[in-house]
Amino acid sequence: MRLALAPVPYYWSRERLAAFYEGVAASPVDTVYLGEQVCSRRHEMRLEDWVALGEMLAGQGKEVVLSSQVLVEGEGDLKLVRKLVGNERFRVEANDMGAVRLLAGRAGWVAGPHLNVYNPRTLEMLAELGATRWVAPVEIARDALQGILAERPAGMETEVFGYGRLPLAFSARCFTARRYNLQKEACEFRCGEFPDGMALRSGEGQPFLVLNGIQTQSAQVYCLVEALPALRSLGVDVLRASAHSGNMPEVLRLLHAACDGELAPPDAVRELRPLMPEAPCDGFFHGRPGLEAVALQGAA
């Protein structure tokens, strides 16, 4: 199984991103998704900058895909999507049906995890429109995945979110700005101060969610490493990881070794655990509440 890295969900500075992707370039990851998916107010990087980063990564043998924004609200957002879709250098991952409309008829795009593909008929439609890879919704359970893959269209690759904090929800509201009593339109880019988002805990101090601008993530780190044999037998082609701060190149090295079968899943989880910002979970895949650790009990 190959390994992919999702777009960095946080608002990191150009310098931090440059250093981060140098490390990614030297890691064994196969595919790197780039772009700002969360908030169009974040302006450190323009499309040209992502393409330049993509060139650097492609030069190191990585497959590069540019990801479109998830929540597209107005003409300004649509302009960004059109520009992204119009790039002639790299494949594009569509994350809303507007991007799908703009990509329809082109070959080789990726249907992203936010398109809500829950059954074979929807996947078949995306295949007809030119998608050649799809990323399952993060909450998908094994049975539902199996049901889709049993009727997978020819030439369609499957990618599953398998490591990192889960992108659980998107809103028009910025929860980071809200924390500081700021309006979204005058947010002072406070999300840039939180390289792993802002931790949200229950009133009893239980780590629960992470606020990252308009995005809400899980506090727990989703980890399907124990499920790799099952994913392989279902016919999953790519495992997706999402970045956090800390030693991500080492995380990618361990995940890649586990994907290759060079490192046994329990050993990989044991080595990954100290690198995680919070305890791991894998409930969604097992049809349980997402925050539960089902096959990871020793590590959680």
Partner 1 sequence: MELVCPAGHLPALKAAVDNGADWVYLGLRDNTNARNFNGLNFDDAALAEGVRYAHGRKARVVLALNTYPQAATWSRWTDALRRADDKGVDAIILADPGLMAHAAKHHPRLELHLSVQGSATSYEAINFYHERFGVRRAVLPRVLSLAQVEQVVRKTPVEIEVFGFGGLCVMVEGRCALSGYACGESPNTTGACSPAKAVRWQQVGEDMESRLNGILIDRYGRGERAAYPTLCKGRFEVEGSLYHAIEEPASLNTIELLPQFAAAGVRAVKIEGRQRSAVYVAQVTRAWREAIDACKRNPAAFVPQAAWQATLASHSEGGQQTLGAFSRPWK
Segment 271-300, which members bind partner 1 (CB under 8 A)?
A: 283-284, 287-291
Is residue 177 close enough to count as binding partner 1 by CB under 8 A?
yes
Q: How far is the CB of 88 from partner 1 (least distance, A)?
A: 20
State the nearest-atom distance from the C-beta of 283 to partner 1, in Å: 7
Q: C-beta of 39: minimal distance to partner 1 in Å? A: 13
- Nearer residue to partner 1 within complex by CB, 154 or 172: 172
Q: How far is the CB of 252 from partner 1 (least distance, A)?
A: 25
Under 8 Å between Cβ of 217 and 176: no
What number of other Cβ atoms are within 10 A of residue 208's Cβ?
14
Radius of gyration of the chain (CA): 18
Per CB under 8 A, 188 contacts partner 1: no
Is residue 206 near partner 1 by the rule CB under 8 A?
yes
List the interface residues with partner 1, window 69-88 (CB under 8 A): 70-75, 77-78, 81
Site string for partner 1, 97-126 (x = CB under 8 A): xxxxxx-x---------x-x-xxxxxxxx-
Q: Residue 218's Cα: distance from chain center in Å?
A: 13
Binding region for partner 1 (CB under 8 A) out of 145-153, 227-235, 246-254, 266-274: 145-153
User: Is 137 a residue that touches partner 1 (CB under 8 A)?
Assistant: yes
Give the phi and the psi of residue 178 in degrees, each rounded to 5: -60, -40
| Count of chain residues binding partner 1 (CB under 8 A) | 74
Q: What is the DSSP letter of 138?
A: T
- Through-space distance between the first and last CA atoms of the chain, rounded to whole angstroms: 25
Segment near partner 1 (CB under 8 A), from 35-43, 161-169, 243-251, 270-278? 161-169
Phi/psi of residue 191, nearest 5 degrees: -60, -25
CB of 211 to partner 1, least distance (A): 6
- Tell me the C-alpha distance between 202 and 210, whole Å: 11
Q: What tokens appear for 280 in the block?
A: 């791991």
Is residue 242 within 8 A of residue 221, CB to CB? The reply is no
Q: Which is nearer to partner 1, 189 or 266 (CB)?
A: 189
Residues in the chain: 300
Strand partners, 33: 65
